[in-house]
Chains A and B, each alone.
Chain A
Amino acid sequence: MNGRFRNTMLVLGLGFLYIPILSMVVFSFNNSRLVTVWDAANSPTLKWYAALLDNAQILGAARLSIEIAAATATGAVVLGTLAGLALARFGPFRGRAFLSAMTTAPLVMPEVITGLSILLLFVALEQAIGWPDGRGFLTITLAHITFCLAYVTVVVQSRLAGFDDSLEEAALDLGARPATVFWRITLPLILPAIVSGWLLAFTLSWDDVVISQFVAGPSASTLPMVVFSKVRLGVSPDINALASLMVLIVAVCVVCSTLWMRRRERQRQREEQMARAAGG
């Protein structure tokens, strides 16, 4: 494939990815209610941001979403780490193939199926044992953990696969019991994967609308649910402001972490080069 062709495609593709986001950001400063007509006389303005911060429904939903996302990410990280550890380090065991299937299927399962099936489980459970009593925070979190756990498992598993198991064997050989090996060797080594797994699960939960719609009761509305019902009725400018804020936060976090990781990587390469040059 010709170098100029693929670079052109890369630039066009990146444009395709970023133009919609940019247009949202630009129009979030637009004075006009008509979202897409630029009111040059009175723009830019921050009034939609002000409106957003006054909107109790959106703020409440955002709060609920953050709580659910944090609980989901934490739960998914614990379960996903266990599953990743079992799959990557325990060798063959009965049911390994099944566990592996159960942790990869949710990655591609259409959300409507996951949402419907887990709701029907909650309904059946409630009928049978009276739990969960009603739907809301708890049911959304349980459903989110279930589909996020698959992502965490894959991330942890591939990080573990990148490490030689002789590291853990060496620790055992030096007299550490298996629990000590986990806390002092395995956990520190997979910590980056756990952190990125947590962030991934947080984002997926924060973003989910379909599964939440199934398992949320009438009382609980997450932010994506509120946004979805708003935008189904047409465009509204305060959503542009909301989107811009989220883009800003994410962009700052992602750019900072990428720069930090790059600096660390460079530092590491320099040190390795020096060690090689020193020889001996």
Chain B
Amino acid sequence: MAEKQVDRTREYVRIESVTKRFGDFVAVDQVSLSIYKGEIFCLLGGSGCGKTTLLRMLAGFEMPTSGRILIDGQDMASIPPYERPVNMMFQSYALFPHMTVERNVAFGLEQEGLPKAETAQRVAEMLDIVQLGAFAHRKPHQLSGGQRQRVALARALVKRPKLLLLDEPLGALDKKLREQTQFELINLQEKLGVTFIVVTHDQEEAMTLATRIGVMNKGQIVQVGTPTDIYEFPSSRFVADFIGSVNLFEGRLVDDEPDHVRIRCGELEAPVFVSHGISAAPDAEVCVAIRPEKILMSRTPPASGENRAQGVVIEIAYMGDVSVYLVRLDGGRVVRVTAPNVERHAEDRIVWDERVHLAWHPSSPVVLTN
């Protein structure tokens, strides 16, 4: 999706060096983060990386071992979950099984002591928004997975929170439904102007939903940025490897100029030329990351003497929209290359055991210095 601009002047959530320990285990380690009004911020990471714990601290179910959480400028330390201006959509949806859809959605408003008529009206409105008006009198077990997900969303949103926390909001849905629901979520978020913090382990989901992504690993935030930033300019090997697939080459900086660098990699025959400068000591050990779709493959050798390699195709996987090729370079290293399947019946498709030349644009490689 097109990237939305985030208004950085309107900070809404501020997490200040928050740490959470469970016994000896550090679940969240010195995390500092600002989240702005109106964004969809995705916390992305593998299982056990601390993303859910961080979310639960925002909701008030866990207390930070140290550090502060401020929401709208107010310190949350002494505020119990039922007094926070925050609502959460649970991974399991946590719909009350003994209440109808309508009662579930009304529950939060009843706690505010709203008049009955107003409660009923707001519940009806919200059920219309999520297109569940016809299901108001059903119990949760009479709904499909997608409908349950929308009830959970309606129940959290009907309270008009400024901040909605979503724990794996699409995790329980099948693939088709997930794609459709992603866009519904975004539309709803824009319409209601709520700030979303989404926890997910699914990078595609994070890419589609997020205005910004915070990648977490071992309790720490390793990179924060827009989806494009995270994908095109990963700041570490972990992020490069975790998001999408990547070919990583160890190398040494041989030519360090303000507008370009040259790197020699033991596994590549020619030097890597990168068309922008980096901040690293000359002669430093660095790592070059090149995405598989940014490598061009052909039978004829490229014109340039740099950014090139050659090898033999050892594996082809047809994925429909693209094909993945594994090419063993002459030095023995296996490189992953993807190419779109533009034509339906390509006569001269590259086949197994064929000798091929690889090349890439000087702007493609990312140099990772740490």
Contacts and interface: CB of A to CB of B under 8 A. Distances in A.
Interface of A: 164, 166-167, 169-178, 180, 184-185, 188-189, 268, 271-272, 274-276, 278-280
B88 A279 contact: no
Interface in B58-101: 59-61, 80-83, 86-88, 90-92, 94-98
Interface string B17-34: 000000000000000000
A178 B87 CA distance: 16
A173 B98 contact: no
A271 B142 contact: yes
B143 interface: yes
Nearest to A164: B92
Residue of B86, B95, B142 ringed by the most chain A CB atoms within 10 A:
B142
A173 B55 CA distance: 12
A188 B88 CA distance: 22
B143 A189 contact: no
Interface residues of B, number: 33
Given A170-B88, A177-B82, A189 B142 contact: no
B108 A174 contact: yes
Smallest CB-CB A-B distances: 10 pairs = A174-B108, A175-B111, A170-B94, A166-B94, A172-B81, A271-B142, A166-B90, A188-B98, A173-B88, A176-B111
B155 interface: yes
B96 A185 contact: yes
A174 B141 contact: no
A268 B139 CA distance: 10
Given A164-B94, A268-B141, A174 B146 contact: no
Residue of A170, A272, A274, A278 ringed by the most chain B CB atoms within 10 A:
A170
A176 to B, nearest CB: 5
Contacts, number: 82
B80 A167 contact: no
A184 B96 CA distance: 10
A86 to B, nearest CB: 19
Contact of A280 (B83, B146, B156): B146
Nearest to B140: A275
A10 B111 CA distance: 53
A179 to B, nearest CB: 11
B142 A174 contact: no
A171 to B, nearest CB: 7
A175 B60 CA distance: 12
Contacts of A172: 60-61, 80-82
Contacts of B141: 268, 271-272, 275
Contacts of B111: 174-177, 180
Given A176-B107, A272-B142, A280-B144, A169 B92 contact: no
Contacts of A271: 139, 141-142
B159 interface: yes
Given A169-B90, A172-B80, A174-B156, 10 more contacts: A164-B92, A164-B94, A166-B90, A166-B91, A166-B94, A173-B81, A175-B83, A176-B82, A272-B141, A276-B144
A280 B96 contact: no
B247 interface: no
B58 to A, nearest CB: 11
B147 interface: yes
Contacts of A188: 98
Nearest to B97: A189
A180 B96 CA distance: 14
B90 A171 contact: no
A173 B79 CA distance: 12
25 contacts: A164-B94, A166-B90, A166-B94, A169-B59, A169-B90, A171-B96, A171-B107, A172-B82, A173-B59, A173-B60, A173-B87, A173-B156, A174-B82, A174-B155, A175-B82, A177-B111, A184-B107, A189-B97, A271-B141, A272-B141, A274-B142, A275-B142, A275-B144, A275-B147, A278-B144
Interface in B142-190: 142-144, 146-147, 155-156, 159, 177
A20 B27 CA distance: 61
A202 B356 CA distance: 83
A88 B92 CA distance: 19
Contacts of B97: 167, 189
B112 interface: yes
Interface in B303-331: none
B94 A167 contact: yes
Contacts of B159: 174-175
A2 to B, nearest CB: 39
Contacts of B156: 173-174
Interface in B287-346: none
Contacts of A175: 82-83, 108, 111-112, 159
